Chains A and B, each alone.
Chain A
C-alpha cells in the first residue's frame, strides 16, 4: 500500500486542559514515536478522550504544546492537521454512499475524480469491502461500518491515525477478530496509531506501548509486557490485569495470581486455607486465606495443576523471587 508515512512523530509538552475549576488533563509530557501503535488506557474520566480530542484539534489546550515532527501545531485548526480519526460510533456521513464517505477527504481537497475513484477502490480492498461502494452506511453491519470509518480516515494517507474506542459498539466475538485486523492494518500502512480504550485486553494485545492514565495524568508508560510484569503502582497493577498486594519489608508488592504456585501443606513461603474455587476452562481460580497477607487470588493451570482442591483444604503457597514486584508509594 502507498500509505507509508514520512512523518508522524508527536511530542506532547506539559499539556493541560481545564474546564473552569476541573482539570480534565493535568500536565501530560509524552513522546509518541513515528509509526508506533500507542494506546491510551484508563477508566472513564481519566482524561484519555480529552487528550485525544486535543491532539485532533477539537479541544484547545489550556496550557502546553503539541509538536508534529518538531513543528508546533497547538494552534492549528482540526481541518488543517491532516490527522485521520475513527470516532466512537464511527460518525459516518449517513447521506453518502460508502464510496463517497471514503473519498470525502480527497474530494474536499479538490482532487480529480479518477484519482479519487482509484484511491477509494484501493481503500475498499484494504478493508475488504470491495463491492459495497454504492451502499449507504445504514445498510451495513456494525463491523462493516467500522471498516468504512477506518478506510475513510486512512484515505488521505495521514501521518497519524487517532482511534476513539473504535470497537466499543461491536460484540465481544467480533471485537477479537477486528483487533487482529487492526493490528495487521497498522503493520501494512505504517501510520502512527493513537488508540483510546478502557479495555485492558485490547490495550495488551494490540499496542507497541500503553499509556495508563488516571485523573488526567500519566500513571505509567511502557510496552504491554513491561506494564504487566513490572507495574510501578497499585493502580497500574490492578487496572492492567489482576493482582494481589502484599505488605513486606515496609513496602507494597504486587504479585500476579498466576505467579503463585500451590504446594503441599507446610512447604512454600506461606500457608493458607482454600476459601473458594471457580472453574474458568483453562484456569482454576482459587481464593486462599493466609495469615500473613489476607485472602490471595491464585490461578492454577487446570490441566497441569493436579486434582482440584476443595474449600477448607490446607495448602502451602510459593513463588519465585522475581514474581513479587515492589511498588512506588
Chain B
C-alpha cells in the first residue's frame, strides 16, 4: 500500500508507451548490435571488413561525400530562400511557405521519378535542347552522382529553410538598424551582424540535412542508376539479396553511432535544444 502511494500515478499513463518503445525499438536495436557481432561468426570480423575491404571503404567515402555536398548546397540555397522569405511582405511569405510545404508533402518517390522525366536521356530538358539544336547528344544529368545530388538537394532544401528562417525571424530589426546607424555598409551589416545571428539556424539546418542524407535510400537508388552506392541501399542489398545480415547490421550500427557522435560533438559547442528549436533570441 505505502509503495503504490509513493509512485507518481502519471507513470501509469506513460508505462504502456514506455514498454512499447523498449520492446519494439530497443529490442531490435540490441538485436542488430548482437547480429553485427555474431553473424556469420562471433567476433569483430564485420567491423574489421570496414577497413579491410575496398568496396566498403569506397561505400563509406561515397556516402560521406554525397551527404557533405548535399548539406553544403542545401544550406546555401536554403539560406537564400529563407532570406528572401524573411524580407518580403507577410502575404508573400505565406505563399512561399505554402510552396515549400507542398514540396515537403509530395512523396520522395514521385519527386525522384519526376526528375528522371525532366532530366533523363529522353527527358524534357534533353529533348528540348536537342530540338533547339544546342546539343547533339543528350547530357547525362541522371543515373550518376550529379543526378543523386540534384534529387537529394531538392528534397532537403525545406529542412534547411525552416530552422534558418526561424533564426532570421528571431533577429531584432533594431540590431540591424544599429549596425547601419554606426556606419556599416549593407555588406558589413550582413557579414558581421546578420550572418552570426543566424548561425544557430544554419547549424541546426545543416545537422538536420546531414543526418537525413546519411540514411537516404530511394533517391540515390533511382537517380544514381546503380552507379552511386550509398549505405542505405547497400544495407538493403545485403539483407534482401546477398543475405549477409552481419554486414548489414554492422553498417546500421556504424551509422547510428556516427549520428549520435555528431550530436554529441555539436552539443559540446552549443545548446542542442537551441539548434533544434531553430535559433535563440
A residues in contact (CB < 8 Å) with B: 56-58, 77-85, 87-89, 91-95, 104-105, 108-109, 152-153, 156
Contact = CB atoms under 8 A, between A and B. Distances in A.
B197 to A, nearest CB: 6
Contact of B192 (A79, A82, A108, A156): A108
B268 interface: no
B175 A78 contact: no
Given A79-B185, A85-B177, A92-B175, 19 more contacts: A58-B181, A78-B177, A79-B186, A85-B178, A87-B174, A89-B172, A91-B172, A91-B174, A91-B175, A91-B178, A94-B175, A95-B196, A104-B192, A108-B182, A108-B183, A108-B185, A108-B192, A109-B183, A153-B182
Interface in B164-211: 172, 174-175, 177-186, 188, 192-193, 196-197
Interface of B: 172, 174-175, 177-186, 188, 192-193, 196-197
A79 B184 contact: yes
Contacts, number: 67
Contacts of A58: 177, 180-181
B197 A105 contact: no
Contact of A152 (B182, B186, B192, B193): B182
Nearest to B175: A91
Contact residues of B: prevailing secondary structure = helix
Majority DSSP secondary structure for residues of A touching B: loop
A105 B174 contact: no
Contacts of B183: 79-80, 82, 105, 108-109, 156
20 contacts: A56-B177, A57-B181, A79-B181, A79-B185, A82-B183, A85-B177, A87-B178, A89-B172, A91-B172, A91-B178, A92-B175, A95-B197, A104-B184, A105-B182, A108-B182, A108-B185, A108-B188, A109-B183, A152-B178, A156-B182
B271 to A, nearest CB: 13
A56 B181 contact: yes
A92 B181 CA distance: 12
Contacts of B174: 87-89, 91
A109 B184 CA distance: 8
Contacts of B193: 93
A118 B197 CA distance: 27
Contacts of A91: 172, 174-175, 177-178
Nearest to B281: A94
B172 to A, nearest CB: 6
B181 A78 contact: yes
Nearest to A81: B181
Contacts of B184: 79, 104, 108
B50 to A, nearest CB: 40
